[in-house]
Structure 1
Amino acid sequence: MALPVPCSRRDGKKTRGWSLRREVWGKNKQITFFPASDIVLPIDMQAKAVMFDTNIFNRILDGKIDIDSLNRNFSYYVTHIQCDEICKTKDFVRKERLKAVFKKVPQSQVPTESAVIGISRVDECKISDGSFYKEIRSLLDSKKKDKNNCKNALIAEMPIKNGCILVTDDCALKETVIELGGKAVSSAEFKRMTNIVE
C-alpha cells in the first residue's frame, strides 16, 4: 500500500486518499483510489512546511514519535494555541514534561489567522472578518461537538491558508482541514512521509 497523503496524480488531476486500484463511495462524496505509480508528493510536502497539533506533542512525550528523528529539513510551525493548551494540562508533572518537549521541537511561532475573544493573544493573532474561521468551526461542530473546537478552528485555519501540512491525531480536525482544501495527516502517516522524503 502506498503513501496515504493529499496528493496530485501525475496527469495533474487533484485527488486525496489511498493509492489502491479501485473506486469506492464515501460519505457524501466519491473517494478515488489510484495506483502508487500515479502518486507524487504534493507541492506543500516538497516545501516541507509542517504544523503539529497539540496532541502530537503528547505522542512525542509518550514515545510514539522520536523527537531526535524528526527530519531537520522540515520547517515546523506553531501558534500560541498549542502552547496555551499544553500549559493548561492538569497533571503538573506531565505539563512540565510537555513544555520541555515543546521547547525541543525546532519550530517557529506564527500568529493565528483570526482572533477570538477570550482565546486569542492580542500580539499573536491577525484580525479577519471571521467568515472562514466560522466555516471551519461549523464543520468541526457537525463532526464532533467539543468545547475545544473554537481553538481547533484557529489551529486549522493557519495551515489551510498558508499551505502547511497539519499533523494531528484528531480525526474530526484532520477531516475538516482536508475537506476545506488543506493538507492534514495523522502522526503515523507523517512518520511514513518523513521516511520517504529524507
Structure 2
Amino acid sequence: MKDIGNKYMHLTNYSVQKKSSEYESNADDTICQGHKWSLKSLWGYLLKRGVNTNEIWKNIKDLIVKTIISAESSINSYIKSNVRNRYSVHELFGFDILLDETYKPWVLEVNISPSLHSNSQLDINIKGGMIKDLHNLAGFRIPDKADLVANPSNENYKLSPPSNRYCIDKRVFPQSLSADEKAKHSYYSQRYQDEVLVCSCYI
C-alpha cells in the first residue's frame, strides 16, 4: 500500500503512462518490449511460460458477450431514438481487460468510440487492421461519387445502381424507412415485448 500514490504503477492508461520518466515506447508489434505490446506478442510471451492462451481468449470473449447483453436494453433504446437509417449501423466499443494472477479476465471499463489516434507504427499496424475489419463486418460502403452531383428528388437517383461494387446501393439501403417498414417494426417490437411479458409471468 505504500506505493498506492504511484499512478504510473497502478494505471495502464497510455495518456498517463507516457508522462512517466520511465516510459519506453515500442513501434514493433512483433516484440515484447516497452509499455505497449500487441496481443500477438502477449500471447507469444505467455505461451513460452506454459499459459493456455486459448482458454484466456475464450474467457475474454465470454466476458465481452455478457457485458454487451447486460447493456442490450440501453443500446437498443439509443438505436431506436437516434438511428434514422438501418444502413451500416454499428458502434465500436473499447474493452479494458485486466488479467489477475490466475489469468482470469476482469472488465475494468468499456469505452464508447475509443481513441483511434496513432502515435507509433505499432498503433498504425493494430488500429489500421482493426478499422478495416470493422468496416468489413459492418458492410460499410462508400458514397457514390455520382451522387454528389445528382438530384436526390429525381426518381432515377433513387433507383439507379451504384457505379461500382464498393459504393452504397440506394436500392438496398434507402435513406429512410417507408410507412410499411415503420408499421412492420412497430408490430414486431410490440409483439416481442408481449412475448417477454408472457414468459416472465410463467417464471
- Which TM class, normalised by the smaller chain length? under 0.3
More strand by share: 1
User: Higher relative contact order by CA 8 Å / sep ≥ 6: 1 or 2?
Assistant: 1
TM-score for the superposition, normalised by structure 2: 0.21
